[in-house]
Amino acid sequence: MTVVLVHGNPETAAIWGPLRAALGRDDVICLSPPGFGAPPPAGWTATRLEYRNWLVGELEALGEPVDLVGHDWGGGHVMGVAMARPDLLRSWVSDIVGVFDPDYVWHEFAQVWQAPEAGEAWVEQMLALPDDQMAAFLASRGITADVAAELAAAFDETMGRCILALYRSAAQPALSEAGRDLAVAAQRPGLALLAELDVLVGTDEQRRRSAARAGARVEVLAGRGHWWMLEDPEQGAAALTRFWADLPPSV
């Protein structure tokens, strides 16, 4: 069964390297959302629904159900597919289910990106940084130094534009309204990864509440933060492997 990994913001597929190695499989595909490691097509508006539809198209092209795994906004795109096209999945995994809870409040950076002028000013500031300073900023957020250097080199005006458009399309109440369809995701086995120290994606209560509404199994990644796949890829790989191993034969 093919495993498909989808990353988020401000990332490229580089974040998956250590986890792919820990999984030790040769049937793992990384899909890079347009603007985040892949060039956007002409007319790309970078909204939440446009990213969902992009991922639907990528999965349709594969031609068979997959085990879909998403991190950060990649996890949001995964949930978008699970709530709209569960037929494309054998199973799904997301580490940001909590953002679909009605009480979720966007984190500080997201609120800056969603604000007119303030978001544009942040992008300008980041674009003006030399790559080594940008890498240092990313490393201060919890990304390993080698991957931070790759992400810093990939950050450009296109990524900045996509960040602003994506987050603005998801300003509340957009996500809580989308979360009304969480029960649809229960049509396929789901896993909510709860990185214990991740403060960006909702409280523990919000994450568990959304997981329950989506009929998802919950696995806590103890002592890990937002970039758990870099902090402890072996722990993440073990959680994923356990989940896939427990899927019923008929799935």
Among 53, 56, 51, 91, CA closest to 73:
51
Residue 130 in this model has a pLDDT that exceeds 70: yes
Q: What is the mean pLDDT of the chain?
A: 97
Query: DSSP character for 47?
Result: -
Helical ranges in the chain per DSSP H: 17-23, 48-62, 73-84, 108-114, 118-128, 131-140, 145-154, 157-169, 174-178, 182-185, 204-213, 228-231, 233-245
CA-CA distance, 106 to 86, in Å (whole number)? 26
Beta bridge partners of 93: 69, 191
Residue 111 in this model has a pLDDT that exceeds 90: yes
Regarding pTM above 0.95, the answer is yes
Query: pLDDT (tens digit, 9 = 90+) per residue, 132-167?
Result: 999 999 999 999 999 999 999 999 999 999 999 999
Q: What is the mean pLDDT of residues 77-88?
A: 98
CA-CA distance, 65 to 247, in Å (whole number)? 14
Among 45, 35, 43, CA closest to 10:
35
CA-CA distance, 236 to 80, in Å (whole number)? 22
Count CB atoms within 10 A of the CB of residue 20.
18
* pLDDT band with cut points at 50, 70 and 90 for residue 81: very high
CA-CA distance, 25 to 221, in Å (whole number)? 21
Query: pLDDT (tens digit, 9 = 90+) per residue, 19-53?
Result: 999 999 999 999 999 999 999 999 999 999 999 99
pLDDT of residue 250: 57
Among 120, 106, 80, 119, CA closest to 172:
106
pLDDT of residue 248: 81
CA-CA distance, 1 to 218, in Å (whole number)? 22
pLDDT of residue 197: 97
